[in-house]
Structure 1
Amino acid sequence: MAEIDKIAAELRPRSGKSSARAARRAGQIPGVLYGGEGPPLAIALNRRELDRELAKGRFSTRLLDLEVDGKVERVLPREVQFHVVTDQPLHADFMRLTAGASVTVMVPVHFVNEVDSPGIKLGGVLNVVRHRVEFRCRADQIPEFITVDLAGRAIGDSIHISAVKLPEGVTPTITDRDFTIATIAAPTLKLEIETPAAAAVTPEAAAAATPAPAAPGKG
Structure 2
Amino acid sequence: MKSIEISGNARANINKASNRELRAQDQVPCVLYGGSENVHFQSHELNFRKLIYTPDAHIVNLDVDGNKFNAVLQEVQFHPITDKILHIDFLELQDDKPVKISVPVKLIGASEGVKQGGKLTLKMRKIQIKALPGDLPDAIEVNIEPLEIGDSFRINELNLPG
Question: Could you tell me the TM-score, scaled by structure 2's length?
Answer: 0.86
1:91-147 deviations in whole A, cap 9, x for unaligned? Answer: 111111222321111111122222xx3322222222323222111111232222112
1:47 to 35, 45, 48: 45
Moved more, 5-14 or 28-37: 5-14
Residue identity matched to 1:43:
F
1:5-63 deviations in whole A, cap 9, x for unaligned? Answer: 321111212212112112112321111111122x22321112222234435653xx311
Query: CA separation in 1, counterparts of 2:59 and 2:67?
Result: 16
> Paired residue for 1:25?
24
Query: CA separation in 2, counterparts of 1:51 and 1:122?
Result: 39
Residue identity matched to 1:106:
S
Q: How does 1:64-75 map to 2 (within 5 A)?
A: 64-75=60-71
Residue identity matched to 1:80:
V
Query: CA separation in 2, counterparts of 1:77 and 1:113?
Result: 30
Question: How many aligned positions are there?
Answer: 162
Residue identity matched to 1:107:
V
Equivalent residues of 2:95, 2:134 under 8 A apart:
no
1:187-206 deviations in whole A, cap 9, x for unaligned? Answer: xxxxxxxxxxxxxxxxxxxx
Q: How does 1:152-163 map to 2 (within 5 A)?
A: 152-163=146-157
Indicate the structure with greater strand content.
2
Query: CA separation in 1, counterparts of 2:151 and 2:54?
Result: 35
Equivalent residues of 1:82, 1:91 under 8 A apart:
yes
Report SS of the residue matched to 2:153. strand
1:94 to 90, 96, 113: 90
Q: CA RMSD in A?
A: 2.1
Query: CA separation in 1, counterparts of 2:153 and 2:54?
Result: 30
Runs of 4+ with deviation above 6 angstroms? none
> Paired residue for 1:107?
103
Report SS of the residue matched to 2:18. helix
Question: Could you tell me the TM-score, scaled by structure 1's length?
Answer: 0.66
Residue identity matched to 1:122:
Q
Query: CA separation in 2, counterparts of 1:12 and 1:29?
Result: 11
Report SS of the residue matched to 2:159. coil
1:170-199 deviations in whole A, cap 9, x for unaligned? Answer: xxxxxxxxxxxxxxxxxxxxxxxxxxxxxx
**Bigger radius of gyration among the two:** 1
Equivalent residues of 1:64, 1:75 under 8 A apart:
yes
Report SS of the residue matched to 1:128. coil
Report SS of the residue matched to 2:107. strand
Structure 1 residues 126 and 87: CA distance shift in structure 2, 3 A: same
- Runs of at least 5 residues in structure 1 that lack an aligned partner in the other structure: 170-219
Equivalent residues of 1:103, 1:137 under 8 A apart:
yes
